[in-house]
Amino acid sequence: MANVQVDSTLLQRMVSFIGAAGEQLDKLAQDREQAKKVASDAVAALIQKGLLGAERKEAAVELLTDDHVKALDTLRRTATHVKVASEQTPPSMGKPADFEKKSDSPARDEADSKFLAALGF
């Protein structure tokens, strides 16, 4: 067997790299757990609002947790279903006409009566 000589500086850099990679993997695991909890809450809200079927809950949580691009696309598509306050209540078109109010002209009253009679009122 042949012995391989490796420079100690290179070994130290490799150990530092592995340590930093381990820290990044730990951070990634923590971020994933936090994302899974938040995704679960978001999916529950979507189900409550009727924007997602309950049978798709687990798949939706996994999708939102694992794929940030798909999560953002889902957010964009969900926003198209949200109605702003001005869309929920149409603006007023004014008050109804006052049919009980009589005009000053007897001819107009007679014309109004004929018109309303023709309409069946």
Q: Is residue 105 part of a domain?
A: no
Q: Is residue 112 part of a domain?
A: no
**Beta-carbon contacts of residue 78 (< 8 Å; ≥ 6 apart):** 46, 51
Q: Is residue 15 part of a domain?
A: yes
Domain span at 50: 7-84
- Mean pLDDT over the full length of the chain: 82
Q: Is residue 97 part of a domain?
A: no
SS3 track for the chain: CCCCCCCHHHHHHHHHHHHHHHHHHHHHHHHHHHHHHHHHHHHHHHHHCCCCCHHHHHHHHHHHHHCHHHHHHHHHHHHCCCCCHHHHCCCCCCCCCCCCCCCCCHHHHHHHHHHHHHCCC
Could you tell me the CA-to-CA distances from 84 to 16, 48, 62, 117 in Å, in that order? 53, 18, 29, 43
Q: Is residue 76 part of a domain?
A: yes
CA distance 9 to 12: 5
Number of domain units in the chain:
1
pTM above 0.85, yes or no: no
* Residue in this structure with the two tokens 């007679």, named with its chain if needed: 110
Q: Is residue 21 part of a domain?
A: yes
* Residue in this structure with the two tokens 């002209």, named with its chain if needed: 105
Q: Is residue 89 part of a domain?
A: no
Q: Of 8-17, 18-27, 60-69, 76-85, where does mean pLDDT reach its minimum?
A: 76-85
pLDDT in tens, 12-49: 999 999 999 999 999 999 988 888 888 889 899 889 98
Q: Is residue 93 part of a domain?
A: no
Can you read off the two tokens belonging to residue 95? 């008050």
